[in-house]
Amino acid sequence: MSDSDTPHHDGGHGHDGHDHPANLAHHFDSPRQQFDAAKVGMWVFLATEILMFGGLFCAYAVWRANHPEVFLAAHKKLDMTLGLINTIILITSSFTMAWAVRAAQLNQQRLLVILLSLTIAGGCGFLVVKTFEYSDKWDKGLWVGTKNLFNPRYEEPSDREANQAPGEQENQAGNESENGLGESNENTAPEMPPEMSPEETPEEASEQGPVAAPDAALQDPDENAHNDEPEVMRSAIPVPGMGPPGLSEAYSDQEVQRQETPPTPEELIAQLPDHVREKWLHQFFQVYFLMTGLHTLHVIVGIGLIGWITVRAQRGAYSSEYYTQVDLVGLYWHLVDLIWIFLFPLLYLIH
Amino acid sequence: MSVTTTPPITVGHRQQPSSPPPGSNYLNARRGIMSWLITLDHKRIALLYLFGVLGAYFLGGVFALLVRLELFTPSPVLAGSSEKAWELYNHMFTLHGAVMVFLFIIPAIPAIIGNFVLPLMLGAKDLAFPRINLASFYFWLAGGLFFTYVLIKGVLNFTFPVLETIWGPGGLDTGWTFYTPYSTTLTQTAVVEATLGAFILGFASILTGVNFIASIHTLRPKGMTWFRMPLFLWSLYATSIIMILATPVLAITLLLLAAERVLGVGIFDPNMGGDPILYQHFFWFYSHPAVYIMVLPALGILSELISVFSRKHIFGYKFIAISSLAIAFIGFLVWGHHMFVSGQSPLANAIFSLLTFFVAVPSAIKTFNWLATMHKGSISLKTPMVYALLTIFLFVVGGLTGLFLGAINTNVHLTDTYFVVAHFHYVMMGTVLFAFLGAMYYWWPKIWGKMYNENWARIAAIVVFIGFNQTFFWQFIMGSQGMPRRYATYSTQYTRHHQFSTVGAFVMTAGLVMVLANMVHSVAVGRRAPRNPWGGNSLEWHTPSPPTTFNFDRTPYAGDPYNYDHWRYVSEEEGYVYDPPDSDDEDITRP
Ligand SMILES: [Cu+2]
């Protein structure tokens, strides 16, 4: 037991009268009680975290059960190596974190700071790899949502313009009034997955206008009966202009501007060779970004917390007498790690 | 621990008739608005919650009255044209439900009564995490402001339609359930703001639950084993477990809903491969247990009141304690009974129906134990006891009509009718509001150090009770005859029912105004309250009224909370005085 904390306090064991240890809040009787309360509170909080992610995992299960083929095909777009690297990074950082708690318990001040810094490095490394992964998906136009305003590329008309039969424009106008979504369609129509059209023969395209629109399919099921895709897949095609009309209108200005600077559709097509699979990427990546996004948010919060206790540790705030915060942040970090351990196989290792 | 040199606090203590000297209790310990806004004292935070939640209740009540007004005749009442009136009606019933559920009923008893009483009952100086407690209040406030924003935006858009083109849609017309796909793709109202508000309110709920669980686990005083806790603490414990386990699921559901609306993520949209029924599963996985977040604390209060005012030990203590946990547990398994007509598989329907009936078992255990407690007790009909008895009545009516809704065949007939409306108002609103008012009267002397006017309080209780039943009992009949819920108009065969019901709503309002007037009068000029006006034996009655900032001069020793043998009524005190037992050292407040 070296120096450590509790400078204005007479020895750390004095429960005589009102003289509490420096780190002991007034409403606790003993450091032990305070530590127990904090620990119970943290475990209960972790339970809420698990339940929250549990909701997402549940949504994942439902989605995957409904569209197994989508998950099977789409996960190949993920870089398994990067995922594996991240898994190793997180497990390692969990190890250094656990060791840091031990160092605090043993009053090894320098080691504590070093281990906490290593843990932060691990968290940052995870974020760096994740950034590479996310930006790669961004470049390929794989991003969350159909009509999201964050990713201009996905909404661009890719090969569709090339395949457009003459007169389709009018058909499209007719469709717009049918689905009652008005002018917002004009801007959101290009959101349709670019992979749709190659499947259609030019004749079909000219007959039905934007065949891909499910409302067309709904109105005339027989017309689509010869379509050799399973029912469930067709029903999952994103609808042009879906979503609240009010919101689409609000974004229309920005979207018009984006269309003035179109990215190259050729690149997109080159990256998306197999259209039958590609059209489902979108769905899978909604799940992917929701789950990993929420997890990444937790990693960022965790790095912030560890940074905070590292600063405190440098000032010698922790000792074998008082290391509650190190312990609790450690628990949190392990949970973040644990969630990734589940996310990795569920998203990257689908068979 | 914390041995002090102050004299013993209870023995032979006599109240002084003069007003309390400044600094002698938590109310006057510090002055200034900031001393309230950044207080860490659980009692002051409870009062912050009290005023906030009452504000929300007022708001929700105004919406309720507007809904009842619109239903006074089948033709439009609130606005000239039927189109405008119906639109307005949709907003009114949605905001009524959302405000009442999220801002009033869920926090009312745990955050106000629980916050105030739980540490006192534990003989503790505060909750385990005072800062988190304050944070929870500000989360609640932030969530409430979101709803207020939605409301004001809606009102302004309604008055000046041009505003909608400037700052987007306002108001809310989805119903408090936010069902998809209407909420995600069709409605032109401020769904995102409202869901964010509910999301933030979830944090308030979770933080309160974490705090309560940690406090009950670690702050119990010497002598208070798990099965010597007052039953109110058991019910708060069970409630906190539900808050912890159910609220995060609501949080993620609302996030998905917002993501779907803003980004077009298709998780609930069949056009994009999603599943709208999934939303209902998610939503009711939270919202059925949420009913027990509302009701369990109310039932815990009943256990306290009935024992104290019968001057008799609670009957079947362990059964009542365990039944709270049982309700919490079963409550997680029955959410599908809200979805019998959603296209859910018949097998799931049957299982959910069966499990729903299991909830009746612990509920009946509680009810019969209360009756057994009163049996041969010497019942005094003070206002809290009046409320307790009325609450039992409402709870039984609500519970028994729940059986009709839990059975699949009758449910198919009654679903989405006024029968459902009446049922959940009896369970959620009747039980919770009446227990809440009973608890307010019961702990009023402890909170403010003032007594209220007993006779007026009783009269007001009866008026509220009559008004409540007049409003809602008729709705059972209307509903069984087929009047659908959430309709702004109706066939003329229901006109009389609706008018009777609307009049009842105003009778109830009159009663509540009487309640409020009595309380304001009490704080202003009420007689000074004794330490223990009712003769209860849980630890909060062992400390002065109102308590000091740290509640107790010393850590008290807890005995059996339902043993009233050592409290003797002293008429000049108008309250009970503690006569410590001579030999039995377990029941005294000792150093
Ligand atoms: Cu239910």
- Render pLDDT for B502-515 as a digit per residue (tens, 0 to 9): 999 999 999 999 99
Interface test mutation site (partner A, options B207, B271, B281, B287, max chain A beta carbons within 10 A)? B271
Would you place residue A20 in the very low, low, confident or very high pLDDT band (cuts 50, 70, 90)? low
CA of B427 to the centre of ligand 1 (A): 11
- CB-based contact, A239 to chain B, within 8 Å: yes
Say if the Cβ atoms of B271 and A17 lie within 8 Å: no
Mark B440-474 as b/e (b = at least 16 C-beta within 10 Å). bbbbbbbbbbbbbbeebbbebbebbbebbbbbbeb
Beta carbons of B267 and A286 less than 8 Å apart: yes
User: Mean of the pLDDT values across residues B23-44?
Assistant: 86
Q: Which of B380-384, B552-556, B561-565 shows the highest mean pLDDT? A: B380-384
Banded model confidence at residue B249, pLDDT cuts 50, 70, 90: very high
| Contact: B269, A242; criterion CB under 8 Å | yes
pLDDT > 90: percent of chain B: 68
How many CA atoms lie within 13 Å of B566's alpha carbon, on the beta-carbon side? Answer: 24
Fold of the A31-145+282-348 domain: Four Helix Bundle (Hemerythrin (Met), subunit A) (1.20.120)
Give the model's pLDDT for residue A281: 65
Q: Is the pLDDT of residue B328 over 80?
A: yes
Asked whether the predicted pLDDT for residue A234 surpasses 60, the reply is: no
Q: Which among B168, B249, B265 has the least Cβ separation from residue A51?
A: B249
CA angle A173, A176, A180 (to 5 degrees): 150
Q: Is A19 on the interface with B (CB under 8 A)?
A: no
Q: CATH number for the domain including B179?
A: 1.20.210.10
CA distances from A250 to A189, A347, B407, B416 (A): 16, 34, 47, 35
Q: Which residues of A touch B1 (CB under 8 A)?
A: 15, 29-30
What's the CA-to-centroid distance between A249 and ligand 1, angstroms? 38
Q: What is the CA radius of gyration of chain B?
A: 24
Give domain status of residue B25, yes or no: no
Nearest-5° angle of CA A200, CA A204, CA A207?
A: 150
- Cα B442 to Cα B449: distance, rounded to the nearest angstrom: 12
pLDDT of the residue at B161? 83
Half-sphere exposure of residue A258: CA atoms within 13 angstroms, side-chain side: 21
Structure tokens that stand for A267 in this block: 């690149």
ipTM of the complex: 0.86
Report yes or no on B23 lying in a domain. no
- Contact across the interface for A40 and B269, Cβ inside 8 Å: no
Least confident of A54-68, B8-22, B464-478, B536-550: B8-22
Task: Retrieve residue B286's tokens.
Answer: 């939270």
Q: Residue A65's pLDDT is what?
A: 85
Residue A274 in tokens: 């197999």
B9-24, pLDDT tens digit by residue? 443 444 444 566 666 7
Window from A63-67, A228-232, A281-285, A344-348 with minimum mean pLDDT? A228-232
Q: With helix as H, strand as E and coil as C, how does chain A read?
A: CCCCCCCCCCCCCCCCCCCCCCCCCCCCCCHHHHHHHHHHHHHHHHHHHHHHHHHHHHHHHHHHHHCHHHHHHHHHHCCHHHHHHHHHHHHHHHHHHHHHHHHHHCCCHHHHHHHHHHHHHHHHHHHHHHHHHHHHHHHCCCCCCCCCCCCCHHHCCCCHHHHCCCCHHHHHHHHHHHHCCCCHHHHHHHHCCCCHHHHCCHHHHHHHCCCCCHHHHHHCHHHHCCCCCCHHHHHCCCCCCCCCHHHHHHHHHHHHHHHHCCCCHHHHHHHCCCHHHHCCHHHHHHHHHHHHHHHHHHHHHHHHHHHHHHHHHHCCCCCCCCCHHHHHHHHHHHHHHHHHHHHHHHHHCCC
> B458: part of which helix (H) or strand (E)?
helix B454-480
Q: Give CA–CA dist A319/A326, Å, rounded.
A: 10
Determine which of A166-180, B237-251, B289-303 has the lowest per-residue pLDDT on average.
A166-180
Considering only alpha carbons, which residue of chain B is nearest residue A68? B273
Identify the residue among B241, B265, B286 best suited for mutation to test binding to A, counting A beta carbons within 10 A and taking the highest. B265
Distance from CA of B466 to the nearest CA of A (A): 41
Give me B54's structure tokens: 């009452």
Which residues form the domain of B484? 31-578
Interchain pair A244, B214: CB under 8 A: no
Q: Which residue has the higher pLDDT, B372 or B223?
A: B372
Contact flag A147-B264 (C-beta cutoff 8 Å): yes
Distance between CA atoms of residues B581 and B568, nearest Å: 12
**Residue B25 pLDDT exceeds 90:** no
Q: Which residues of A touch B271 (CB under 8 A)?
A: 214, 235-239, 242
Confirm whether B583 is domain-assigned. no
B479-536 tens-digit pLDDT = 999 999 999 999 999 999 999 999 999 999 999 999 999 999 999 998 999 989 999 9
Nearest C-alpha in B relative to A247: B262
Amino acid at B174: T
Does the residue B491 lie in any domain?
yes
The domain total for chain B is 1
CA dihedral sign, ordered A198, A203, A209, A213: negative
pLDDT of residue B20: 63
Say yes or no for a CB contact (<8 Å) between A55 and B282: yes
Task: Read off the pLDDT of residues B127-156 as tens digits, 9 standing for 90 and up.
Answer: 999 999 999 999 999 999 999 999 988 888
Tell me the pLDDT band of A248, cut-offs 50, 70 and 90: very low
The phi and psi torsions of B417 (rounded to 5 degrees) equal -115, 180
* Among candidate residues B121, B522, B169, the one with its CA nearest the CA of residue B300: B121
- Residue A144 Cα, gap to closest chain B Cα (Å): 7
* DSSP state for residue B172 in the 8-state scheme: -
CB proximity A100 to B under 8 Å: no
Q: Is the peptide bond before B546 cis (omega within 30 degrees of 0)?
A: yes
For residue A52, which residues of chain B lie inside 8 Å, CB to CB? Answer: 248-249, 251-252
pLDDT of res. A75: 76
Q: Is residue B11 part of a domain?
A: no
Determine the distance in angstroms separating the CA of B4 from the nearest CA of chain A, rounded to an integer. Answer: 6
Q: A249-307, pLDDT tens digit by residue?
A: 334 444 444 444 443 433 433 444 454 445 556 777 888 888 999 999 999 999 999 99
CA distances from B363 to A156, B27, B106, B368, B410 (A): 59, 38, 19, 9, 21
Write down the mean pLDDT value for chain A.
67
Q: Which of B538, B530, B544 is nearest to B575 (CA)?
A: B530
Across the interface, of A56, A236, A242, the residue whose CB is closest to B264 is: A242
Top pLDDT among A129 and A181 is at: A129
From chain A residues 33-52, the ones with a CB under 8 A of any chain B CB are 33, 36-38, 40-41, 44-45, 47-49, 51-52
Q: Does residue B20 lie in a domain region?
A: no
- Per-residue pLDDT band for B165 (boundaries 50, 70, 90) equals confident
Residue A280: its pLDDT value, please? 58
Residues 282-321 (A) with a CB less than 8 A from some CB of B: 283, 286, 290
Q: How far apart are CA B226 and CA B213, in angstroms?
A: 13
Residue A49: is its pLDDT beyond 70? yes
Residue B587 lies in a domain: no
Q: CA-CA distance, B176 to B153, in Å (whole number)?
A: 17
Give the confidence band of B166 by pLDDT, cuts at 50, 70, 90: confident
The shortest CB-CB distance from A243 to any of B188, B252, B264 is to B264
Residue B225 burial (C-beta neighbours within 10 Å; 0-12, 13-18, 19+): exposed
Q: What is the pLDDT of residues B59-80, one digit of tens each?
A: 999 999 999 999 999 998 888 7
Helix (H, G, I), strand (E, B) or coil at B522: helix
Residue B240 Cα, gap to closest chain A Cα (Å):
10
Specify the pairing of strand B567-570 against strand B575-578: antiparallel
pLDDT at A246 over 70: no
Helices of type H across B71-126: 82-98, 106-107, 115-121
Closest CA to A52 of B406, B245, B563, B397: B245
Which of A41, A47, A243 is opposite residue B185, by nearest beta carbon?
A243
Would the pLDDT of B234 be above 50?
yes
Q: Give the integer Cα–Cα distance in Å for B402 and B505.
A: 22
The Å distance, Cα B280 to ligand 1 centre, comes to 12
> Strand, coil or helix: what is B10?
coil
Of B364, B360, B356, nearest to B333 by C-alpha is B356
Arithmetic mean of pLDDT, B401-421: 93
Chain B nearest-CA distance from A36, in A, is 7
A241, A188 contact by CB (below 8 A): yes
From the list A207, A267, A268, A275, the residue with the least C-alpha distance to A237 is: A275
For residue A159, give Cα distances in angstroms to A192, A199, A257, B104: 11, 11, 20, 54
Half-sphere exposure of B14 (CA within 13 A, CB side): 7
DSSP B128: S
Q: Looking at per-residue confidence, does A15 or B329 come out higher?
A: B329
- Nearest-CA residue of chain A relative to B255? A290
Which pLDDT does position B34 carry in this prediction? 86
Q: Where are the domains of chain A?
A: 31-145+282-348, 200-248
